[in-house]
Structure 1
Amino acid sequence: MNIDWAALGSVFGVSLLATVSLVALFTLGILGLSKQEEAAASGGSAALARSGAYACFALCAAAVSYGIFLIVT
Protein backbone atom coordinates (compact mmCIF):
# COMPACT_ATOMS: atom_id res chain seq x y z
CA MET A 1 0.00 0.00 0.00
CA ASN A 2 1.39 3.34 -1.06
CA ILE A 3 0.26 6.57 0.63
CA ASP A 4 0.79 9.90 -1.10
CA TRP A 5 1.74 11.94 1.97
CA ALA A 6 1.96 15.21 0.04
CA ALA A 7 -1.61 14.87 -1.22
CA LEU A 8 -2.83 13.86 2.24
CA GLY A 9 -1.13 16.91 3.79
CA SER A 10 -2.62 19.15 1.12
CA VAL A 11 -6.13 17.85 1.78
CA PHE A 12 -5.61 18.29 5.51
CA GLY A 13 -4.39 21.86 5.08
CA VAL A 14 -7.25 22.90 2.81
CA SER A 15 -9.82 21.24 5.09
CA LEU A 16 -8.38 22.98 8.14
CA LEU A 17 -8.36 26.35 6.38
CA ALA A 18 -11.93 25.94 5.14
CA THR A 19 -13.18 24.88 8.58
CA VAL A 20 -11.50 27.75 10.40
CA SER A 21 -12.74 30.23 7.77
CA LEU A 22 -16.35 29.05 8.03
CA VAL A 23 -16.32 29.13 11.81
CA ALA A 24 -14.80 32.63 11.80
CA LEU A 25 -17.36 33.85 9.27
CA PHE A 26 -20.25 32.44 11.28
CA THR A 27 -18.79 34.00 14.44
CA LEU A 28 -18.65 37.38 12.70
CA GLY A 29 -22.32 36.97 11.82
CA ILE A 30 -23.24 36.25 15.43
CA LEU A 31 -21.10 39.19 16.56
CA GLY A 32 -22.84 41.45 14.05
CA LEU A 33 -26.25 40.46 15.39
CA SER A 34 -25.16 41.19 18.94
CA LYS A 35 -23.73 44.57 17.89
CA GLN A 36 -27.07 45.37 16.25
CA GLU A 37 -28.75 45.34 19.65
CA GLU A 38 -25.99 47.52 21.14
CA ALA A 39 -26.22 49.98 18.26
CA ALA A 40 -29.99 50.23 18.56
CA ALA A 41 -29.70 50.88 22.29
CA SER A 42 -27.09 53.61 21.86
CA GLY A 43 -28.82 55.29 18.91
CA GLY A 44 -26.35 54.13 16.25
CA SER A 45 -26.94 52.45 12.90
CA ALA A 46 -28.33 48.99 13.53
CA ALA A 47 -29.00 48.38 9.84
CA LEU A 48 -25.29 48.21 9.00
CA ALA A 49 -24.59 45.61 11.68
CA ARG A 50 -27.62 43.57 10.63
CA SER A 51 -26.77 43.64 6.92
CA GLY A 52 -23.15 42.65 7.68
CA ALA A 53 -24.36 39.75 9.78
CA TYR A 54 -26.74 38.61 7.05
CA ALA A 55 -23.92 38.83 4.51
CA CYS A 56 -21.74 36.62 6.70
CA PHE A 57 -24.53 34.07 7.06
CA ALA A 58 -25.17 34.14 3.30
CA LEU A 59 -21.47 33.49 2.62
CA CYS A 60 -21.54 30.58 5.06
CA ALA A 61 -24.58 29.11 3.33
CA ALA A 62 -22.93 29.58 -0.07
CA ALA A 63 -19.73 27.85 1.06
CA VAL A 64 -21.63 24.92 2.55
CA SER A 65 -23.78 24.63 -0.58
CA TYR A 66 -20.68 24.64 -2.76
CA GLY A 67 -19.13 21.91 -0.61
CA ILE A 68 -22.24 19.77 -0.95
CA PHE A 69 -22.23 20.41 -4.69
CA LEU A 70 -18.62 19.20 -4.90
CA ILE A 71 -19.45 16.05 -2.94
CA VAL A 72 -22.49 15.20 -5.05
CA THR A 73 -20.85 15.73 -8.45
Structure 2
Amino acid sequence: MKIDWAALGSVFGVSLVVTVALVGLFTLGIVGLSKQEQARTAGGGTAAIPARVGAYACFALCAAAVAYGIYLIVV
Protein backbone atom coordinates (compact mmCIF):
# COMPACT_ATOMS: atom_id res chain seq x y z
CA MET A 1 0.00 0.00 0.00
CA LYS A 2 1.30 3.41 -0.96
CA ILE A 3 0.20 6.59 0.80
CA ASP A 4 0.07 9.86 -1.10
CA TRP A 5 1.54 12.06 1.64
CA ALA A 6 1.08 15.26 -0.35
CA ALA A 7 -2.64 14.66 -0.72
CA LEU A 8 -2.94 13.67 2.94
CA GLY A 9 -1.13 16.84 4.00
CA SER A 10 -3.33 18.93 1.73
CA VAL A 11 -6.52 17.46 3.20
CA PHE A 12 -5.16 17.99 6.71
CA GLY A 13 -4.24 21.62 5.99
CA VAL A 14 -7.59 22.48 4.41
CA SER A 15 -9.48 20.75 7.21
CA LEU A 16 -7.50 22.63 9.83
CA VAL A 17 -8.07 26.02 8.17
CA VAL A 18 -11.79 25.42 7.65
CA THR A 19 -12.24 24.21 11.23
CA VAL A 20 -10.49 27.24 12.67
CA ALA A 21 -12.50 29.54 10.40
CA LEU A 22 -15.82 27.98 11.42
CA VAL A 23 -15.00 28.13 15.12
CA GLY A 24 -13.92 31.77 14.71
CA LEU A 25 -17.10 32.62 12.83
CA PHE A 26 -19.26 30.96 15.49
CA THR A 27 -17.33 32.83 18.17
CA LEU A 28 -17.99 36.12 16.38
CA GLY A 29 -21.69 35.26 16.40
CA ILE A 30 -21.65 34.65 20.14
CA VAL A 31 -19.74 37.89 20.73
CA GLY A 32 -22.27 39.73 18.58
CA LEU A 33 -25.14 38.38 20.65
CA SER A 34 -23.41 39.38 23.87
CA LYS A 35 -22.80 42.90 22.49
CA GLN A 36 -26.47 43.06 21.55
CA GLU A 37 -27.41 42.11 25.09
CA GLN A 38 -25.04 44.71 26.54
CA ALA A 39 -26.42 47.42 24.27
CA ARG A 40 -29.97 46.50 25.18
CA THR A 41 -29.31 46.65 28.93
CA ALA A 42 -27.48 49.96 28.51
CA GLY A 43 -30.59 51.48 26.97
CA GLY A 44 -29.46 51.73 23.36
CA GLY A 45 -32.41 50.24 21.51
CA THR A 46 -31.21 50.89 17.96
CA ALA A 47 -27.56 50.16 18.77
CA ALA A 48 -28.44 46.52 19.40
CA ILE A 49 -29.75 45.90 15.89
CA PRO A 50 -26.41 45.79 13.99
CA ALA A 51 -24.91 43.44 16.57
CA ARG A 52 -27.87 41.08 16.29
CA VAL A 53 -27.83 41.17 12.48
CA GLY A 54 -24.09 40.47 12.42
CA ALA A 55 -24.48 37.60 14.87
CA TYR A 56 -27.27 36.04 12.83
CA ALA A 57 -25.20 36.44 9.67
CA CYS A 58 -22.29 34.60 11.34
CA PHE A 59 -24.59 31.79 12.43
CA ALA A 60 -26.12 31.58 8.95
CA LEU A 61 -22.67 31.31 7.37
CA CYS A 62 -21.77 28.54 9.82
CA ALA A 63 -24.95 26.66 8.96
CA ALA A 64 -24.29 27.13 5.24
CA ALA A 65 -20.75 25.80 5.58
CA VAL A 66 -21.97 22.74 7.50
CA ALA A 67 -24.73 22.14 4.94
CA TYR A 68 -22.22 22.42 2.10
CA GLY A 69 -19.93 19.91 3.85
CA ILE A 70 -22.82 17.47 4.20
CA TYR A 71 -23.69 18.05 0.55
CA LEU A 72 -20.11 17.21 -0.45
CA ILE A 73 -20.22 14.00 1.56
CA VAL A 74 -23.58 12.85 0.20
CA VAL A 75 -23.07 13.72 -3.47
Q: TM-score, normalised by structure 2?
A: 0.93
Aligned to 2:60: 58
**Aligned residue pairs, count:** 73
Point out where structure 1 has 5 or more consecutive residues left out of the alignment: none
Aligned to 2:25: 25
Q: Percent identity?
A: 77
**Inter-partner Cα distance in structure 1 for 2:43 and 2:12:** 46
Specify which of 32, 39, 50 is matched with residue 48 of structure 1: 50
4+ long deviations beyond 6 Å: none
**Inter-partner Cα distance in structure 2 for 1:58 and 1:5:** 35
Cα distance, 1:41 vs. partner? Answer: 2.0
**Inter-partner Cα distance in structure 1 for 2:6 and 2:59:** 33
Cα distance, 1:39 vs. partner? Answer: 1.0
